[in-house]
Structure 1
């Protein structure tokens, strides 16, 4: 029987052909030193350079290396989700493929899990990135995410983390939400801690991130906040907003009537009738949106196990079993 995998290392890569061989050369001894069966899953996010060819060469030389090639570039979140879906290990360790994370830190992360934690997050205490374009915006984002989510981490952007498999079950990642995985794990009841990890300057290639991702992160943070508190009860959000507008409509109507009879001010002389009408319509629309959201939530939970990333090919994966179709009886006329 095939030996069970204990650690799955997930590495999304995009146009990192110069880093593939050095990364594997650093990973192999670091993982073998753990004395546990492991696998390394590279998710090639539609690279347009020689990344796919070099990953094929690495996978051909070691069956512990598994490769998923996307047909096109879908982003780090989709690549991370694909790695989680295909991982077999009891412990899942995502990391970057640009050689800035140190494979030697994996042992420290895994060892910290034995203290009773479900998530151990890396903290790039001495970050080797441009301060203005990368480090400073990241600090602001980390502070904001911690405040909104209630999960306090110094470095949400550090990919190097260790998860127990069970806290990664039952959710899907979209947009730029890969950095919010600890929040989802906390939502599942996981215990989270953070330890400093090494961070090296990038040697080859260029960073794929810029300041344009800040707005995406903020919008995704709103989605995460909504999902963590109101995913199963959206009517509480839309219904309360709708109720507030209806109350405003009633109050504006009462005040308009008061002006009419107490001060003989005609309704058409004030904007109150328009405010009543718009507030009432808005309240009704918000309530209806809440009911529609309730239906969509049920559809979401019914489809959340569907994959949303097109895979071009896989290496060192077992062939998928063909689905067993029900027997179709001949129609009787």
Structure 2
């Protein structure tokens, strides 16, 4: 659905929401209201039934107070507060869970993304795409600690996943809600959404978007995230390679380990004196090691099949980490 110009965006309290904008915040008291005002100004020009879902990821400052005030004055806003800091991916997942729109749009709460790009993302989505990814082609971040690591990570992600997105880390993205709700989000997985949705045959587009320097507060990103991203990339590669048949993938690994184990065992039984100094212990040890690896691989494959067939399994339900939801002037505690 393409954007049109009208006097005001319809409040989300009515039946059916077209667009939900999900924004996570963490210690952004200076930015919270400003970001709301910038988003609201754009949504007011769209002929869509709109909703804004703001998630406070356990901030230690007055971010939650700012978000509650905003929600109290605008029926389109739903504000959610975590009991503690769980990270950007968990905050996005909670926002997506509470969003009601048929189209979801995510962006950061630090004022570096430009809400004026929202109509352009929606117009591109209207061309038949399932996901539209923002590309910060003129990124306003530090070269050594942000931009260079990001370029390396994006290149590596593209090579491993086969999905050539130039800016996986850009939070400004638009999605078909039915698709994004299929994706389990944890760790740093929000940046791998395009790769994961490619499993379902999603059509992905990328457009240039604006990017501004941070005006208030401190960046929450750093080089420490690189290790987690690399581990998540390993998980994604496994999913892309064997998501539908985990037992086949792990079974192949188990078969190779079992062959090595049997070969070592035969060496110990048939010709125990073929190895110097330690005639039996070395091949027997190798046999035991690879036999255990084969058993573990088969167990992992069976477990993977069970998980795949039963669906998404989460350690913690989002309702259990949510302290409060403020929606249309009413507040309710998390379960």
TM range (shorter): 0.7 to 0.9
Alpha-carbon offset, residue 170 of structure 1? 2.2
Match of residue 311 from structure 1: 322
Counterpart Cα distance in 1 of 2:35 and 2:121: 18
User: TM-score, normalised on structure 2?
Assistant: 0.86
Would the aligned equivalents of 1:149 and 1:225 in 2 still touch at CA under 8 Å?
A: yes
Structure 2: where are the runs of 5+ without partners? 1-12
Verify: 1:271 aligned to 2:282, yes or no.
Answer: yes
Selected match of 2:139 from 99, 118, 127: 127
Alpha-carbon offset, residue 286 of structure 1? 2.5
Verify: 1:281 aligned to 2:292, yes or no.
Answer: yes
Verify: 1:291 aligned to 2:287, yes or no.
Answer: no
For the residue of structure 2 that corresponds to 1:157, the secondary structure is: coil
Verify: 1:101 aligned to 2:113, yes or no.
Answer: yes
Match of residue 204 from structure 1: 216
Counterpart Cα distance in 2 of 1:219 and 1:133: 19
Selected match of 1:148 from 146, 160, 168: 160
Verify: 1:252 aligned to 2:267, yes or no.
Answer: no
Aligned CA RMSD, in angstroms, stands at 2.8
Alpha-carbon offset, residue 154 of structure 1? 0.2
Residues 160-200 of structure 1, C-alpha deviations (whole Å, 9 max, x = no match): 01111121132321111111112222222210010110000
Structure 1: where are the runs of 5+ without partners? 321-333
Counterpart Cα distance in 2 of 1:265 and 1:283: 27
For the residue of structure 2 that corresponds to 1:90, the secondary structure is: strand
CA 1:305–1:119: 2 relative to 1, 3 Å: farther
For the residue of structure 1 that corresponds to 2:206, the secondary structure is: strand
CA 1:308–1:236: 2 relative to 1, 3 Å: farther
Alignment of 1:74-85 (within 5 A): 74-85=86-97
Alpha-carbon offset, residue 290 of structure 1? 2.7
CA 1:102–1:251: 2 relative to 1, 3 Å: same
CA 1:278–1:130: 2 relative to 1, 3 Å: same
Verify: 1:20 aligned to 2:70, yes or no.
Answer: no
Residues 203-232 of structure 1, C-alpha deviations (whole Å, 9 max, x = no match): 000001110010001111112222334344
Counterpart Cα distance in 1 of 2:240 and 2:118: 29
Match of residue 324 from structure 1: none
Verify: 1:233 aligned to 2:236, yes or no.
Answer: no
Match of residue 42 from structure 2: 30
Alpha-carbon offset, residue 253 of structure 1? 4.2
Selected match of 1:185 from 197, 204, 207: 197
Alpha-carbon offset, residue 265 of structure 1? 7.9
Counterpart Cα distance in 2 of 1:317 and 1:188: 35
Counterpart Cα distance in 2 of 1:185 and 1:319: 35
Would the aligned equivalents of 1:3 and 1:37 in 2 still touch at CA under 8 Å?
A: no
Counterpart Cα distance in 1 of 2:235 and 2:143: 28
Alpha-carbon offset, residue 250 of structure 1? 2.8
Selected match of 1:165 from 177, 183, 196: 177
Selected match of 2:56 from 40, 44, 67: 44
Counterpart Cα distance in 2 of 1:192 and 1:146: 13
CA 1:316–1:269: 2 relative to 1, 3 Å: closer
Would the aligned equivalents of 1:78 and 1:309 in 2 still touch at CA under 8 Å?
A: no
Would the aligned equivalents of 2:22 and 2:95 in 1 still touch at CA under 8 Å?
A: yes
Deviating runs (4+, > 6 A) in structure 1? 263-267, 302-305
Would the aligned equivalents of 2:19 and 2:102 in 1 still touch at CA under 8 Å?
A: yes
Counterpart Cα distance in 2 of 1:202 and 1:309: 32
